[in-house]
Amino acid sequence: MVKDKSDMLPLMEHFHTLQGEGRFTGHSAYFLRLGGCDVGCVWCDVKESWDMAAHPLTGVPQMVEAVVNSGSHIAVITGGEPLMHDLDHLTDQLQAKGIKTHIETSGAHPLSGNWDWICLSPKKFKAPQEAVVSAANELKVVVFHPSDFDWAEQYAAKVSPHCLLYLQPEWSKADLMTPLIIEYILKNPRWIISLQTHKYLSIP
């Protein structure tokens, strides 16, 4: 895929909320959800993001202005799969305004953009790029089945020694997977549980 280097990106939605997952849980954050995804997770809760053409092209300056006007100091670029797009212009303009740039990605496409925090959530459906794995600040593995613990360890062995390791129950199976995650972390304390707190709080 040739990434679009223009200042226009397909924006599905954008909103100011609290980060619900991972290292920055509870922090004020402005989310920019980009359209387009070819990873195809069967349990994805934003499948409407997959069709890139279904979402209006929006100017990077307009997106940056929305983040700045919110007062948040963190912009989270998510999707869909945001690395389907060239994100250099977006991150450069955000950082020029003093905004911290975070990305949530499966890592399935080459890394672009300049990032203060990279959350890698690898998926079995399409393997992440090695460069994204090595650059990750946070590894967040969604646990859908007990076999995912072994799969998580495979990626824990590939990320940098300073990368934080999170296990997160898939929402529809949280009642089944959360007790297993707790038990696993008690035996493997380098891992941390990540919960989708925004869903418990009924916020975006």
Residue 43, pLDDT score: 66
Q: What is the pLDDT of residues 67-81, one digit of tens each?
A: 999 999 999 999 989
Per-residue pLDDT tens digits for 28-47: 999 999 999 888 777 677 77
- Tokens matching residue 33: 């959800």
Domain 8-200 class, CATH top level: alpha beta
Longest dimension (CA), the chain: 48
- Could you tell me which residues come within 8 angstroms of residue 9 by beta carbon, excluding any fewer than 6 positions away? 34, 57, 58, 60, 63, 85, 90
**So where are the chain's domains?**
8-200
Helix (H, G, I), strand (E, B) or coil at 119: strand
The tokens for 75 are: 């912009």
Backbone dihedral angles phi then psi of residue 193, each to the nearest 5 degrees: -85, 140
The SS3 call for residue 135 is helix
Q: What is the mean pLDDT of residues 144-160?
A: 97
How do beta strands 8-18 and 28-34 pair?
antiparallel
C-alpha distances in Å from residue 201, one per residue of 14, 23, 79, 97, 137: 18, 17, 21, 30, 26
DSSP state of 132: H
Phi, psi (5° rounding) for residue 96?
-65, -25
Report the predicted TM-score, pTM, of the whole model to 2 decimal places: 0.94
pLDDT digits over 108-139, tens only? Answer: 999 999 999 999 999 988 899 999 999 999 99
